[in-house]
């Protein structure tokens, strides 16, 4: 019978990462690292259901809260200090550490290569990590990458907001879920200004060596479906795009959502597209 267990591991800069591992029955078909979006977390919305679907099909799935997500396990409050200090570099470094842990056997894997999967900001993160480290160590041996509802840029701030963030040192980003007055720290933007090439998602996408699937809802009010088309144009020979009709940013799924609940038609469509893609990936 498949099982779910929680764990902790040190991140790239020492802070703790938290995760939940789904182990399938029998011999696994592969190992997936599943990353949430901005102000999301590993137990958010459709993510546990997606993990359960993929585990039932035979995959190991690790749902991840990275070191600066600000959440440990469950649906609790954010650690506002960790959240404010999060940056793209920290995220990508943590993903590198996680892939290395799978390769070394500290996290469950089957030796067939790791698959990165992420939603929203997490989708952009897995694409950026796969491109930045396309030939580097554990991330250079990826078997595939899946981005759900991913934006086509790492920095979506307008000039006025960006200037205010740098001048004030942080930017208010309240959580509607918890009511907390969360903030994004200036280092998030400053590192992009210091290294624009390392944060150019179009260029990073073009460098990805693994097959890529982009899944996006046609009625996404947060990130338009045209972003998936823009990203696909950066890697036309190794990318598939699946548009889910009438789906919003979270595939019409509430938060929280039980892993055993019946999915919306939109979530079922997205999950079927992900599974079909995964089953086509060559083994390593």
Domains in the chain and their CATH numbers? Answer: 3-153+192-278 (3.40.50.1820)
Rounded to the nearest 5°, which phi and psi values hold at 144?
-175, 165
Q: What angle in degrees, to the nearest 10, is found between the helix axes of 121-132 and 88-103? A: 70
pLDDT per residue as tens, the chain (284 positions): 579 999 999 999 999 999 999 999 999 999 999 999 999 999 999 999 999 999 999 999 999 999 999 999 999 999 999 999 999 999 999 999 999 999 989 999 877 789 999 999 999 999 999 999 998 877 888 999 999 999 999 999 999 999 999 999 999 999 999 999 999 999 999 999 999 999 999 999 999 999 999 999 999 999 999 999 999 999 999 999 999 999 999 999 999 999 999 999 999 999 999 999 999 998 76
Question: How many residues are given for the chain?
Answer: 284
Cβ 69 vs Cβ 36: under 8 Å: yes
Q: Return the residue matching tokens 């940056």.
A: 87
Closest to 49 in 3D by CA, of 142, 148, 179: 148
For 2-53, the DSSP string reads: -EEEEEEEE-TTSPEEEEEEEE-SSS-S-EEEEE--TT--TTSTTHHHHHHH
Three-state SS across 236-267? CCCEEEEEECCCCCCCCCCCCCCCCCCCCHHH
User: Measured between alpha carbons, how far is 100 from 98 in angstroms, rounded to an integer?
Assistant: 5
Rounded to the nearest 5°, which phi and psi values hold at 118?
-150, 155
């Amino acid at each position: 019978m498949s099982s779910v267990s929680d764990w902790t591991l040190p991140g790239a800069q020492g802070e703790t990462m938290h995760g939940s591992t789904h182990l399938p029955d029998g011999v696994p078909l592969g190992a997936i690292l599943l990353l949430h979006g901005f102000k999301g977390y590993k137990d958010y919305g459709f993510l546990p259901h997606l993990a359960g679907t993929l585990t039932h099909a035979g995959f190991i799935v690790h749902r991840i809260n990275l070191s600066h997500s600000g959440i440990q396990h469950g649906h609790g409050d954010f650690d506002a200090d960790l959240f404010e200090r999060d940056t793209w570099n920290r995220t990508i470094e943590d993903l590198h550490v996680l892939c290395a842990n799978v390769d070394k056997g500290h996290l469950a894997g089957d030796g067939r290569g790791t698959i990165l999967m992420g939603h929203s900001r997490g989708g952009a993160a897995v694409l950026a990590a796969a491109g930045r480290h396309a030939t580097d160590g554990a991330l250079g041996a990826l078997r595939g990458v899946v981005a759900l509802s991913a934006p086509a840029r790492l920095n979506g701030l307008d000039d006025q907001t960006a200037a205010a963030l740098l001048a004030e040192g942080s930017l208010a980003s309240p959580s509607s879920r918890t009511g907390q007055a969360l903030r994004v720290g200036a280092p998030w933007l400053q590192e992009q200004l210091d290294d624009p090439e390392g944060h150019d998602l179009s260029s990073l996408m073009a460098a990805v060596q693994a097959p890529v699937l982009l899944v996006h809802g046609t009625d996404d009010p947060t990130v338009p479906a045209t972003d998936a088309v823009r990203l696909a144009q950066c890697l036309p020979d190794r990318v598939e795009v699946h548009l889910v009709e009438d789906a919003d940013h979270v595939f019409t799924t509430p938060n929280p959502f039980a892993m055993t609940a019946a999915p919306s038609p939109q979530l079922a469509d997205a999950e079927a597209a992900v599974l079909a893609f995964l089953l086509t990936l060559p083994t390593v």
